[in-house]
Structure 1
Amino acid sequence: MDSDRSLSFSERIVARARGRRNILILTHDNPDPDALASAHALAHLLLAKTGNSPRIACGGVIGRRENRTMVERLQIAVEPLARVDVRTFDLFCLVDAQPGTGNTSLSGQLPIDIIIDHHPLRCRSEDNQIVDIRPDYGACATILFEYLQQQKVYLNSRLATALFYAIRSETQDLGREWTPPDRLAYQQLLLLSNNRVLFDIAHAKVPRSYFASFNQALESARVYREALVFNLAQIPQPDIVAEMADFLLRMEGVHLVLGMGWHRGEEVLSLRTDREDWRAGTIIRQLVAELGTAGGHGMIAGGQIRQVAGDVLAQNQLQQLLTERLFTVLGYDPEAGEALL
């Protein structure tokens, strides 16, 4: 835990928020548990220290059923960004993301005052911004938990559960890209969390389309040595691509998975690897170069390619292009691969 840094940044953030009438906290589009919990915790911190209740907004959708259950059960008040008049706010915060990286609606067009993230640094900070970016942390929620501790802000069970679930999901129960601060926060938050709510979130009921996506992932998957590529084609919500990528990474002999799916005119990409020497964020940026935007950590990454056709021909052509680029990045000779099933 970097107590001194968390104390310094949390004091600066609270000082900046004092006297502001309308505060907006933004997450990346299609927020995951880490983004949702981080925004919720920052709102709680600012309310406790300034008396001002910020609003939370995001672009895209909260599609994954576990994430929707998390929002409902833990009473996280998040609004669609399209329904928010950003002109009425005088302080903008961005959590679990950075401006200009392609996965944050409007953040590149707004005067972001406060940035809190754990992804590798990719934005240029301005002199008047407060920027706390810690790529050595496994979860953004860990940073926010440290803020709350250093500011001696009380955590109720709902907030503790949200932060715990965020760290748990982001690090896959401390099995992926965790650090000592994440483990300490995980252990402390577990004691304050509601186990029944955690169970309900992790075992949320899913719609029939969920199993159709599983079927499509399995049927479309092709294996190329240690890599696997799948295409879900048209998807009901963007989060399903990452979920299928996580699932298929469990296959013996596979150490990298590239997944794709088409949603509302945009190609959603997800890349997963269990090899620490394969930098997922670097790989996916090479795959989408001059096509779209992407970013990520060492072992997990995502990307977007906008204005893509969803018909079979266009999808096949894009999949072929991305697969060929993947061969180049991994140093593979071109091959037909083999079907998973």
Structure 2
Amino acid sequence: MNRENLLQFFKQLKPLQRVVIQAHDFPDHDAISSAYGLSFILQSLGMKTLIVYNGEIDRISLSNMVEWLNIPVVHCSKANLNANDHIITVDGCIGENNVTDLPGDEIAVIDHHTVTAPNSLWFADIRPNYGATATIIFEYYQMLKIDMPMKVATALLVGLNIDTANLTRGFCNADLKAFITFNQIADLDIVNKICRNSLIHYELTNFEDTCKLVKQSEGIATVLLKEPCAKNMLGVLADFLLSVNEFDVVIVAIENKGALQLSLRSECPKVNVGHLLRKTLNDTRMGFGGGHSHMAGGIVLADNTQHFMEHDNAHFAPFVKEIKALRSLEAAF
């Protein structure tokens, strides 16, 4: 991405009555912080913005971030969107199953996932090698020489820290540069408070259930949770299991309206869980999913859960079979 292309896109936005910035459904810290950072840029250039999302903000740390930093984000049902609105999707891509098609014209995508943007968009900036969309937004500030407010840097640093697990997974040199700059501007006490306070009391039962129900085979840990669990909590539990020395691939799932909601993690170099989900679910039309080599999420559609579980017991056979096949290739080389 170069400065001229970015400026040309912002010039196209100038005549609009407002610019809607949409985070992916059930947003995470990176999605909200990136939308917030982009919103400030556009406002500094004289535009009106509105940050929206669908689903729920279901992590206490994200709720705290929004409240403590006064981030102006609203649920799409309360946004009075209409067909004349123009929408920039941040940390997601229109056409993906985790981005609701809202009223209005989707004009741009800014994302760090492996996605394919529609050709009709005015602008697309997709960088799968980046650890967080927050880093892309950071580079916009650098290109345009816009001073970043403390609150924006605080939010973006939280987004970068959580998406990269404090720069321990899936990061690149650009993320390191952003991390250094954010640390010089952000309120580090607030950053640490947001990141530390990541659970509420009743969620401890999810960890208890995970420990009781986890199964393992050749380093692959699998769990089908029985108790209610927030969608974004699955990733927290998957990260928790990946910290166990004997596990290098993790599958955590919960039933949701007959479907299976999934979160996967990998630290095995040959097991790219983003590719694994796309091959096992998208290509077979048994569901949908995607993400990065080290972390991914997806859904097995209700009509196909019998391939992954029997009665109340999950075996995840299609995933396990593919993981073992990938490992055998690793051994062969």
Q: TM-score, normalization: structure 2? A: 0.89
Among all aligned residue pairs of Structure 1 and Structure 2, give the percentage whose two residues are the same amino acid: 24
* 2:113 corresponds to: 119
Q: Which has the higher contact order (CA 8 A, sep 6+)?
A: 1
In structure 2, the CA distance between the partners of 1:245 and 1:174, relative to structure 1 (3 Å rule), is same
Q: Distance in 2 between matches of 1:160 and 1:260?
A: 33
Range 248-257 or range 115-124, more displaced: 115-124
Match of 2:27 among 28, 31, 48: 31
CA distance change for structure 1 residues 162 and 319 in 2, over 3 Å: closer, same or farther?
A: farther
- Indicate whether 1:281 and 2:274 are aligned: yes
Q: Equivalent residues in 2 for 1:1-341 (5 A)?
A: 5-49=1-45, 51-87=46-82, 89-106=84-101, 111-126=105-120, 128-204=121-197, 206-263=199-256, 266-288=259-281, 289-305=284-300, 316-317=309-310, 323-331=316-324
Q: Distance in 2 between matches of 1:323 and 1:246?
A: 19
What's the secondary structure of 1:153's corresponding residue? coil
Instruction: Please state whether the residue corresponding to 1:189 is helix, strand or coil.
Output: helix
Contact 1:22 1:89 (C-alpha < 8 Å) held by counterparts = no
- Deviations along 1:46-67, one digit per CA (max 9) or x if unpaired, are 1011x22211111111111111
> What TM-score results when the alignment is normalised by the length of structure 1?
0.87
- In structure 2, the partner of 1:337 is none
Distance 2:25 2:161 in 1: 20
Q: Secondary structure at the match of 1:86?
A: coil
- Write the deviation string for residues 174-214 of structure 1: whole angstroms up to 9, x where unpaired: 11111111100100110111021112201226333211111
Asked if the contact 1:233/1:315 (under 8 Å) is kept, the reply is no
Does 25-34 or 298-307 show the bigger shift? Answer: 298-307
**Counterpart code for 1:46:** L
Question: Unmatched 5+ residue regions in structure 1?
Answer: 333-341
| SS of corresponding position for 1:113 | strand
CA RMSD of aligned residues (A): 2.4
Q: Match of 1:241, SS? A: helix
Contact 1:237–1:263 (8 Å) recurs in 2: no
Q: Distance in 1 between matches of 2:134 and 2:110?
A: 10
1:168–1:319 Cα change, 3 Å: farther
Once residues 194 and 222 of structure 2 are traced to their aligned partners in structure 1, the CA distance between those partners, rounded to angstroms, is 29
Distance 1:141 1:53, change over 3 A: same
Q: Aligned with 1:304: secondary structure?
A: strand
CA deviations over 1:40-91 (Å, ceiling 9, x no partner): 0111111011x22211111111111111111111111111122233216431
Separation in structure 1 between the aligned mates of residue 80 and residue 212 of structure 2, nearest angstrom: 43
Structure 1 residues 133 and 328: CA distance shift in structure 2, 3 A: same
SS in 1 for 2:110: strand
Output the CA distance in 2 between the equivalents of 1:69 and 1:309: 37
Q: Which runs of 5+ in 2 are unaligned?
A: 326-333
Counting matched residue pairs gives: 323
* Structure-2 separation of matches of 1:167 and 1:198: 11
- Superposition deviation, residue 110 in structure 1: 5.2
* Distance apart, 1:239 and its partner CA: 0.8
User: Compared with structure 1, are the counterparts of its residues 205 and 119 closer, same or farther at alpha carbon in structure 2 (3 Å cutoff)?
Assistant: closer
Q: Is the 8 Å Cα contact of residues 307 and 317 (structure 2) preserved in structure 1?
A: no
Q: 1:188 to 1:231 in 2, by over 3 A?
A: same
Instruction: Indicate conservation of the 8 Å contact 1:62/1:68, yes or no.
Output: yes
Which string of whole-angstrom CA distances, capped at 9 and with x for unpartnered residues, describes residues 294-332 of structure 1?
Answer: 11011110112455899xx99953876761101221236
Counterpart AA for 2:112 = H
**Would the aligned equivalents of 2:109 and 2:117 in 1 still touch at CA under 8 Å?**
no
| Separation of aligned partners in 1, 2:291 and 2:256 | 20
User: Which deviations, in whole Å up to 9, do the C-alpha atoms of 1:102-133 show, x marking residues without a partner?
Assistant: 111126x753101101112334322x421111
